Structure formats: structure tokens, C-alpha cells
Amino acid sequence: MDKIRIVGGARLNGTIPISGAKNAALPLMIASLLTDEALVLANVPRLADVALLKRILGNHGVDITVAGKRIGEAELSGETVQFSARTIVDTTAPYELVSKMRASFWVIGPLLAREGFAKVSLPGGCAIGTRPVDLFLEALQTLGAEIEIDAGYVIARAPNGLKGGHVVFPKVTVGATHVTMMAATLAKGDTIIENAAREPEIVDLAECLIKMGARISGAGTSTIRIQGVDRLHGTRHAVMPDRIEAGTYAMAVTMTGGDVLLEGARYDSLAKPIEILREVGAEITETNEGLRVYRNGAALRPVDVTTEPFPGFPTDLQAQLMALVCRAEGTSHIRETIFENRFMHVQELARLGAEIHLDGQNATIVGVPRLKGAPVMATDLRASVSLVIGGLVAEGETMVNRVYHLDRGFERLEDKLSRCGATVERISG
């Protein structure tokens, strides 16, 4: 099993190219199931989750070819990949694949809309919480699906096709918004989604679906309207830059000090994290190429942050912020409201010398003057990278074990950081 070895102490200086967003690439790839024509996606990140979803789509009959890079594309940028679902050969998404990645459950929407049938394994919980799928199923029922649960599988039927409906989500859910929007594109009639997720990845998917011939308005607001069409066609679309990757490196630079251009990062997808990082002590400016993050030797200041759906502070940056304020001068408070068990990094950060007290969904972080390197264990994707951020300033060596979590969502992290002066290496094993 690979490990990441970090020797702390270096400031970060240089340029980090931001990859295509994992959380946009996954639903975009799944959207290829909606048409028998080719969907060509550029800027697809090379990540374990993307590789797994390629296998899952392949199982449904999607023909996948890597079209390579455009001339002049940077070495670290992603691939251009063509997804062609000419015929769906299998409408079942088996447990062995779905249990490895939750987002693979989302194939249920396009399969049902196009084929009138889908049998998809329940994804189960994961390290950050129980993560039920009740809201997906209720939304699909509103669009006319009959749902049965049998032997760990959701069996969804709509033999005469889906029909438009009025979906009101009782809580904001990114996944169920993606799935309902995709399913409704091929339903008969109009669909309204209220209390829809407003995440930028929803907008990216909607833009691609519109290029495919879908009639969607309001994506990015809490009310999305979809007029169903008979069929969708192929198109080309570039995956949006990864706001969570960009936010993570912004926190790393704020932690170490230095001056880094996050190439391709977009301010509007990161407004809240940028506001918080400025409170902590970073200077962040928007340039034509991306976001420039700068901090001199000034002390880090504590903050009080609650995770919320977009445009609030994202849960996917909570662990990284916690690592950062471990070194603040004063006491910070972080409240996690999206997932019930997303504090697995706390015990591992404590191994580096952090002082964090947990009370239910609230963490109190008492800043300490120094962290000290130690062997630590990654428990989930964002928790892993919080340990890397801690390791970048910890005295001596930090060894992060179970790096496969990190490989789900960070493309060549060790290359990107070491190019900016950090001592970070992957030890294969």
C-alpha cells in the first residue's frame, strides 16, 4: 500500500494547475448514459474514482476511449475522454462496484429515464456517515417510477417512461438534485425541483445537458425547471476546475506561507472559503490565470465556521480548515452540519500535536505553536489531505498511510506540492 512521506518546514512558492473537478466529472460521465451519441469530456481528472466509474459505465455498455490531450495542454492537466452509450447492455449496477463509490448509485436516474428500468445496489454508509438514499427514491417516485427494494438492490421501473413532477427536497442534496435533473430531461412534461442544491457542479452538469438538447433553467438557484424532451444528443464539454482541490491548496499555502498561483481556480466557486482564509491571514487575489494565494510570516488567526450547502462553507473543506487552524494563535470553532461523522481526522491530527475537543457536531480547536511529524492514517478522502496540510508544517517526518483515500480525489498531489518546494514523496509499497 502506498504511503506519502512529508518533511515539514518549507514554504510553498510557484504554480499549481487545478485539475478538473471529481464531483463534476462523475455526474457528467453518468450523463453519457442518457444518449446513444458520443459525449466527449475534456479536462477529466486521472483519479481512482474516475477509473472506477469508467468500469461501472463499461459494464452498462458504454464504450470509452481516451482521445488524449490537446496540443499545448500542461503535463498535469486531465484527459479528453469519449463516452458512447450506443446501447445499454446491462441495466444492473452490482454491489461489488456500487459499494466502492457512492456516486455510482447515480446511474439509476439516466438508466431509468432511458430504459424504463434500473436495478442498482444500495450504496451503504461510509466513513463520514450513514448517507441514506431516501430522497433520491422519493424524487424518482414523484417522476412516476415504481420502486422496490430487494436483497440490497433498488429496483426502479417506469415501463411507459418517466413523467414530469413537482419535487420538493426537504433538505439540500447534491446527489439527488443531479439524479432528478438527469432523469427529468427525458421525462414527459415539465419538472420543477425546489430546494435544489446550488453547487457549481450542478450548474456544470446542467450546462452540459443543455448542450445535449435538454431544456433546463434555474440551475445554480434553489428552483430548477426542466421541460422533458424525447431524446438527447452528443456534445463536447470541459469539466469545471475542482473548487475543493483549489481550496485545499489555498489552505496549504496559508499554512506554510509563500506565494502560489492556483491556475484555473475560480473565485465565484470559492467565495466563502476565500472569505474565511482572509480572516485566517491569507491574501488572495483573482488574476486572469486563476487565484493567487499569499501569506508572509504573520500569525494565523482563529475562526468560527459552520459547514453548509453552497454558497456556504463546504463540508469537503472542513478537515483541511481544521488542520490549518491547529496552528492559529487562539481558539477556533468548527461546526459540521452536513455529515454526522466527519471528524475522523481529529484523532490523527492529535497525533501531530493538535489540541482539538469534540462535542457532537462541534469541534473546538485550541491553536498550538508547533506540530510534530508522526505516522498517521488516512480515514477518508478529505481527512487524508488534512493530514498532508498538517505534515507540511510539522517538525520532521510525517508518514501518511492508506493513501488510496487520497487517490480518489487528488490528482498527483505529491508532484503538485513538490514543484512548489515542499518535501513530499510517494513511497510505493
Ligand X SMILES: CC(=O)N[C@H]1[C@@H](OP(=O)(O)OP(=O)(O)OC[C@H]2O[C@@H](n3ccc(=O)[nH]c3=O)[C@H](O)[C@@H]2O)O[C@H](CO)[C@@H](O)[C@@H]1O
Ligand Y SMILES: C=C(OP(=O)(O)O)C(=O)O
Binding interface with ligand Y (CB under 6 A): 23, 101-103, 126, 128, 316, 381-382, 409
Residue 335 annotated as binding site: no
Site of interaction with ligand X (CB under 6 A): 23, 26, 102-103, 129, 131-136, 171, 173-176, 315-316, 338-339
Residue 409: name its binding partner from ligand X, ligand Y, none (Cβ under 5 to 8 Å by kind). Answer: ligand Y
Using Cβ positions, the residue closest to ligand X within the complex turns out to be 175
DSSP 268-323: GGSHHHHHHHHHHT-EEEE-SSEEEEEE-SPPPPP-EEEB-STTSB-GGGHHHHHH
* Known catalytic residue at 420: no
Residue 412 annotated as binding site: no
Q: What is the dihedral of CA 90, 94, 96, 102, to 10 degrees?
A: 110
CA atoms within 13 A on the CB side of 308: 9
Shorter beta-carbon distance to ligand X: residue 43 or 315: 315
Contact status, residue 6 vs residue 373, Cβ threshold 8 Å: yes
Shorter beta-carbon distance to ligand X: residue 56 or 374: 56
> In 113-234, which ranges are E strands?
117-121, 146-150, 153-157, 166-168, 190-194, 215-217, 223-227
| Least gap, CB of 173 to ligand Y (angstroms) | 11
Q: Quickly tell me which residue has 490531450 as its cell.
A: 69
Shorter beta-carbon distance to ligand X: residue 147 or 350: 147
| Least gap, CB of 315 to ligand X (angstroms) | 5
d(CA 227, CA 217): 9
| Least gap, CB of 314 to ligand Y (angstroms) | 9
Shorter beta-carbon distance to ligand Y: residue 295 or 310: 310
Residue 173: name its binding partner from ligand X, ligand Y, none (Cβ under 5 to 8 Å by kind). Answer: ligand X
Residue 174: name its binding partner from ligand X, ligand Y, none (Cβ under 5 to 8 Å by kind). Answer: ligand X
| Least gap, CB of 227 to ligand X (angstroms) | 24
CA distances from 196 to 170, 173, 192, 264 (A): 10, 7, 9, 27
Residue 159 annotated as binding site: no
Strand, coil or helix: 82: strand
Residue 162 backbone class (left: φ over 0; alpha: ψ -120 to 50; beta: rest)? beta
Strand, coil or helix: 419: coil
CA distances from 168 to 195, 244, 386, 389 (A): 6, 27, 35, 39
| Least gap, CB of 423 to ligand Y (angstroms) | 26
Residue 176: name its binding partner from ligand Y, ligand X, none (Cβ under 5 to 8 Å by kind). Answer: ligand X
Which residues, at least 6 apart from 373, have a Cβ–Cβ distance to it below 8 Å? Answer: 6, 7, 8, 352, 391, 394, 395, 396, 397, 398, 399
| Least gap, CB of 126 to ligand Y (angstroms) | 6
Residue 195 annotated as binding site: no
Shorter beta-carbon distance to ligand Y: residue 102 or 237: 102
d(CA 126, CA 102): 8
Residue 244 annotated as binding site: no
Residue 129: name its binding partner from ligand X, ligand Y, none (Cβ under 5 to 8 Å by kind). Answer: ligand X
Shorter beta-carbon distance to ligand Y: residue 35 or 320: 320
Which residues are designated catalytic? Answer: 126
Q: Which residues are annotated as a binding site for UDP-N-acetyl-alpha-D-glucosamine?
A: 102, 131-135, 316, 338
Q: Which residues are annotated as a binding site?
A: 22-23, 102, 131-135, 316, 338
Q: Which residues are annotated as a binding site for phosphoenolpyruvate?
A: 22-23
